[in-house]
Chains A and B, each alone.
Chain A
């Protein structure tokens, strides 16, 4: 912890870590009369009444205010969708419940355009409402929606005035120390100005962000871009110091951390708080600036789990910036930092998906590192068991599979099943979204791009910026299985398709020798070997062929990915999936992410990185894809080898790798490896010139290595 850290922030952190920093919610009885109002008008009225009844709570350490928590009695923020009835119905039916062992419905994100409200204020949004009204003169539903939005603006302004009044009340208290009194008066003035009007200072901007975050508590987008002009102006005219700016950011981060209460099952996770720094500016310059650096510094001084941040790397990012972010990463015990590559992602957005470049250049990260837009909604989000398509080929179409004389004919058959499953998953996704689109939202819709102009709720297709993505569980299992079929059945003819299928039917019982041979000699993905990597290319080309020309029912182009969120879908789907040709036994977990596992990557980290960087020649996997890399903790800790790690990551990006998150092989991993050697076969310990599989060391030496690793950490 930095010794210069401010005591006030330290106390705020302690409070956020110790307990719920939100005020208790106050129950509100709504009058029955309003049942006659249209949905948008009724929701806006009730939200206004609800917010007005909630206490204005903040501590003597706060300089930013605005917290409010919704209790679900009205449709509140779109994330986490408090009060949305049809969403709740969808969730009860599908959330975390694998449908036909193929897909589930998951959380979908939406991100407010905080930069816009900072710049134009609610008055600017109201002007847009007035303008939009002229376009819908005879459309009573849309006019009602716009009236709801306008009424919502009044409710929000009312709430900010309440906070201002509370600040003035406390300032007037004779018990209040003079220094605090001055601060309270400044806070009151801030709340009287924002979010109603455009922010004039950095402090007003952060106050606006803090206040509006309550209405869509998801990604804060690209704060190093939208806060930059006021930051620079404040430094230039002497009204802001770098330290004060840092303090404001830290107070914001404490609130974001505390937004998830300690009693939540997600309290130790980073989840709904990811944002982005760096990347490109809209005029194609490297967007990293002093504020990006300050944000990182502010985060590193705070022992918090949230928010999480990604560096958007691109070809203009200097190595010094990558080194800076990786250096923060290696020192961050809370593991909040990841890095994503702009190049393949922007290329796919502007190319295959036809997204306007101004939007693509401005993409952000959200949740578990999914790409998204400020003022945009994430659709899809379904986890798809991609291994099922192969099981259906081998089981459902067995007679045809047995007739295939070469890999090409087998693959043609497989591709039909793949497209069948992708179509089914898309149908599920459309059904979820249709059901949810019966919800109306007037709170978050205010901050989403397009909802005012279209006079349509964000839940009903109002957002003009959106990304649709479904994610695969088991793509590495699938690619390896196809590669094994190609190698063992058709090219080396070590077994027949009939033998392989009987082995899978018997879950390898009585066929252990075949399984061992596959595990030993199989040419698996992730080894920089054109054989298996070629199978990966073919598979992703098939996925791209499916996506080509298709959209979801709102009309958004399709993309795919491979991450897992909070929930272990890979285990759930795996539990219901029989043995697969890659040597996987029935019921065991599927793999997620772009990497390899269980010792199947045997050609070193550079080969793995090359395979991952080149895995998808089409860009269709530029959705929610991740890659977790385990690196030896000693490499990370030693400055000289750390420098080589920086170059390793940079080269991986230059080769087209999309994302990377580092796991340092820690004492914890080594202990797990000692207990369960089969799962950690590929964990190696290295000491200058010596390297060996950890699981092959004598127990006493294993213990010694563990002790040393701990010592270094």
Chain B
């Protein structure tokens, strides 16, 4: 299992936004979805890519084939930090569930070494994969990208199978954080915000809702990948954020 490999495009240490405590986030390259606003455009393709250099510097190869053991060698170095902060490993992407064998093996390796595990996912994956991972995942960081009515239009797939998967893990006692990328004027209508609130209310096991305000900073990376037509909108304003917080967390805006 430790020979299993996949393309990794970044390993981020001292990640503080992707689960509890101090974490190492392993970013796997390749995603079946094409979200309009994706801020990591280099995460989409399952192939190695070349990104033009920064400020005329040498070009950068994105994606390095790594085995589970190679990733673990980096992850386990921070064990003292996980232990003191109740942190651990987060597998992100791309879409980790689209790298099923690797994700399964990496989670098993981390659990074997007593490391807390989280998976950040769109939830768009066959049920049996999710079922197989369930015992190995301590925390699911589950994306809520859009309400069902506009899901297909923005994300390219229907919301229903994703919501079914969420209900499935919730019914089996999974710990869940809902992760909500919000793009002003795109997926932040009152209905969309109500969808998030209802989902949180009706799904047992939801510990927390993370609002992820839109920012256009993926543009630079998109350009360096030689792509054109990257969707950009202005940064979310403080007023946008205040409205989201109020709609989701109530008038006092607390989580």
The segment from A174-182, A305-313, A323-331, A686-694 found at the interface with B is A686-694
Stretch at the interface among B17-25, B98-106, B147-155, B166-174: B17-25
A575 within 8 A of B: no
Q: B212 near A648 (CB under 8 angstroms)?
A: no
User: For the complex, would chain B's binding face be called helix, strand, loop or mixed by DSSP majority?
Assistant: mixed
Q: Are B217 and A690 in contact (CB under 8 A)?
A: yes
Does A647 touch B at the CB level, under 8 Å? yes
Complex CA distance for A689 and B120, rounded to whole angstroms: 10
Q: Are B219 and A698 in contact (CB under 8 A)?
A: yes
Q: B85 contacts the other chain (Cβ, under 8 Å)?
A: yes
- Tell me, yes or no, whether A228 is within 8 Å of chain B by CB: no
CB contacts (< 8 Å) of B80 on chain A: these are: 651, 654-655
From A520, A644, A689, A704, name the one whose CB has the most chain B CB atoms within 10 angstroms: A689
Q: Is the CB of B245 closer than 8 A to any CB of chain A?
A: no
Query: For B224, what are the chain A residues with a Cβ–Cβ distance below 8 Å?
Result: 696
The verdict on B228 contacting chain A, using a C-beta distance below 8 Å, is no
User: Which residue, A655, A692, A695, has most C-beta atoms of chain B within 10 A?
Assistant: A692
- Is A464 interfacial (CB-CB < 8 Å)? no
CA distance A635 to B22 in the complex (A): 12
Q: Is the CB of B221 within 8 A of A606?
A: no
Chain A, 673-700, contact with B by CB distance < 8 Å: what is the 0/1 string? 0000110010001111111110111100
- Which of the residues A606, A681, A688, A693 comes within 8 Å of B14, measured between beta carbons? A606
A548 within 8 A of partner (CB):
no
Closest to A655 in B: B80
Complex contact B223–A688 (CB within 8 A): no
Question: For residue A648, which residues in chain B have a CB less than 8 angstroms away from its CB?
Answer: 14, 22, 81, 85
A607 within 8 A of B: yes
Q: B residues 211-230 with Cβ under 8 Å of A?
A: 212, 215-221, 223-224
Residues of B within 8 A of A607 (CB): 13, 77-78
Query: In the complex the two chains form, is B22's CB within 8 Å of A606's CB?
Result: yes
| Residue in A603, A641, A688 whose CB lies within 8 Å of B210 | A688
- Chain A: interface residue total (CB-CB under 8 A): 40
Contacts A689-B18, A690-B217, A695-B54; is A650 near B40 (CB within 8 Å)? no
> Which residues of chain B are within 8 angstroms of A704 by Cβ–Cβ distance?
235
Within 8 Å of chain B (Cβ to Cβ): is A708? yes
CB-CB contacts below 8 Å: A45-66 with B: none
Structural contact, B223 and A698, CB atoms closer than 8 A: yes
Residue B58, interface by CB 8 Å: yes
CB distance A606 to B13 under 8 Å?
A: yes
List chain A residues, Cβ under 8 A from B78: 606-607, 610
Q: Is A604 positioned at the interface, with any CB of B under 8 Å from its CB?
A: yes
* CB of A528 within 8 Å of the partner chain: yes
- Rounded to whole angstroms, the CA-CA distance of A644 and B84 in the bound complex is 10
Residue among A606, A648, A693, A705 with most chain B CB within 10 A: A606
Instruction: Please state if B220 and A698 are interface contacts (CB–CB under 8 Å).
Output: yes
The closest CB in chain A to the CB of B214 belongs to A687
Q: Are B14 and A677 in contact (CB under 8 A)?
A: no
CB-based contact B212/A701 at 8 Å: no
Shortest CB distance B139–A (Å): 15
A323 to chain B, nearest CB (A): 12
- One digit per residue, 1 when the CB lies within 8 angstroms of any chain B CB and 0 when it does not, for chain A 626-644 equals 0000000001000011001
With A607-B77, A689-B92 in contact, is A677–B84 under 8 Å at CB? no
Do A516 and B58 contact each other (CB < 8 Å), given the known contacts A610-B77, A692-B221?
yes
Interface positions, chain A 640-676, Cβ under 8 Å from B, are 640-641, 644-645, 647-648, 650-651, 654-655
- A605 at the B interface (CB under 8 A): yes
The listed residue (A528, A606, A689) touching B39 by CB distance below 8 A is A689
Which of A528, A640, A650, A677 touches B55 (beta carbons < 8 Å)? A677
The reply to whether A605 and B14 form a contact with Cβ atoms under 8 Å apart is yes
Cβ–Cβ contact A520 & B85, under 8 A: no
Q: Are B220 and A644 in contact (CB under 8 A)?
A: no
B18 adjacent to A688 (CB under 8 Å): yes
Which one of A605, A635, A650 lies within 8 Å of B13 (CB-CB)?
Answer: A605
> Interface centre among B24, B58, B80, by most A CB within 10 Å?
B80
CB contacts (< 8 Å) of B123 on chain A: these are: none
- Which chain A residues lie closer than 8 Å to B17 at the CB level? 641, 686, 688-689
Assess whether B21 is in contact with A644, with CB atoms less than 8 Å apart.
yes
| Closest chain B CB from A657 CB (angstroms) | 11
CB proximity of A475 to chain B, nearest CB, Å: 23
- The residue in chain A whose Cβ has the minimal distance to the Cβ of B141 is A689
What's the least CB distance linking B214 to chain A, in Å? 10
Which single residue of chain A is at the shortest CB-CB distance from B86?
Answer: A647
Report yes or no: A701 in contact with B77, Cβ–Cβ below 8 A. Answer: no
Asked if B30 CB lies within 8 Å of chain A CBs, one says: no
Instruction: Please judge, given known A-B contacts A647-B84, A648-B81, A677-B54, whether A708 and B40 are in contact too, CB under 8 Å.
Output: no
A650, B217: Cβ atoms closer than 8 Å: no
Cβ A696 vs Cβ B84 within 8 A: no
Inter-chain pairs besides A516-B58, A689-B25, A692-B221, 20 sampled, C-beta below 8 Å: A603-B74, A604-B14, A604-B24, A606-B24, A606-B77, A606-B81, A607-B78, A610-B78, A640-B16, A644-B14, A644-B87, A651-B84, A654-B84, A687-B212, A688-B17, A690-B39, A690-B215, A696-B55, A705-B217, A708-B235
Q: Which 7 A-B pairs have the closest CB atoms?
A: A604-B13, A647-B85, A696-B54, A641-B16, A688-B17, A606-B13, A690-B39
> Could you jot down 14 A-B contacts, CB within 8 Å?
A528-B77, A605-B13, A606-B13, A606-B78, A651-B85, A678-B55, A687-B212, A689-B120, A689-B212, A690-B39, A692-B221, A695-B55, A697-B220, A701-B219
Which A residues lie at the B interface, using CB under 8 A?
516, 520, 528, 603-607, 610, 635, 640-641, 644-645, 647-648, 650-651, 654-655, 677-678, 681, 685-693, 695-698, 701, 704-705, 708
